[in-house]
Amino acid sequence: MFERFTKDARSSVVQAQDEARRLGADRIDSAHLLLGAVSDPASVAARALATLGVDHDGLVTTVRALPHRSLDADALAGVGIDLESVRAQVEATFGPGALDEPAETRGRKHLPFDKDAKKALQVALREAIRFSSNRIDTGHLLLALARLDGTPGQRALEAAGHGRDELERAVVAAWADTTAA
C-alpha cells in the first residue's frame, strides 16, 4: 500500500499516529490523517490549505470539537461519580496521567487505523490515478479525505468551510507551484 506514497505522504501517515495519541484517541481516524497531512507546512496538503486560510493548529481545534471517546466529568457526576477523586486514586497507584490513556492503546506500540482511515488511504490511490500520477502525495490524500462524507476528516474540512471543488483547485495550484519551483 505505502510503496507508492511520496516521502511527505509517508511521513504524514507517521505523524497521524502522533496526532491520534496527542488527542487521546485509541485508533487513527481520518481526522488524524488530515492533521498528519498538514503537519509539515511544506507538504502539498498544507500549502493547499494555507491558500484557503486553514492551518494545522486551526484544524486541531476543529477536530477536538468533533465527538470522540472520552471521560465526561459532568456525565459521571450525574451518576454520582467524582472523576477527580477517581483520578487522584488511580494516579496514586499508577502514576500521573494514568487515566488519560485510552484502554485500547495501553501497552501498544502502534495504533490501528480505523475503517474510514483505511478507506481514505485507498481512495488516495484512486485520486492519484485520476490525476495520472504514479505517486500518492498529501494532496491526493487531502482530496480523498474530502470525498468520504460523514467521516471525521471530511467533517473537519467542512467545518473549516471548504468544499471539495475549492480544495481541488487549491491542491492543483499547490502541485503547479511544486513543478515550477
What is the closest distance, in whole angstroms, from the C-beta atom of residue 82 to other proteins in the complex? 7
- For residue 33, what are the CA distances in angstroms to 45, 89, 98, 123, 144? 11, 35, 26, 13, 11
Instruction: Locate 125 and state its grid cell.
Output: 490511490
What is the closest distance, in whole angstroms, from the C-beta atom of residue 111 to other proteins in the complex? 12
Q: Which stretch binds other proteins (CB under 8 A): 44-52, 57-65, 100-108, 147-155?
A: 100-108
**Is 79 or 180 the residue whose CB approaches other proteins more closely?**
79
**Burial class, 127, CB count within 10 angstroms (exposed 0-12 / middle 13-18 / buried 19+):** buried
Positive or negative: CA dihedral 117, 119, 125, 126 = negative
Q: Which of residues 57-96 bind other proteins (CB under 8 A)?
A: 69-72, 74-83, 86, 90, 93-94
What is the closest distance, in whole angstroms, from the C-beta atom of residue 66 to other proteins in the complex? 15
Instruction: Locate 126 and state its grid cell.
Output: 484512486
What is the closest distance, in whole angstroms, from the C-beta atom of residue 20 to other proteins in the complex? 16
Q: Which residue from 18, 40, 55, 101 is in contact with other proteins, where contact means CB under 8 A?
A: 101
In terms of Cα–Cα distance, which of 50, 56, 52, 45 is closest to 171? Answer: 45
What's at 154, amino acid-wise?
Q
**Is 24 or 58 the residue whose CB approaches other proteins more closely?**
24
What does the binding site for other proteins look like in residue numbers (CB under 8 A)? 69-72, 74-83, 86, 90, 93-94, 98-99, 101-104, 106-108
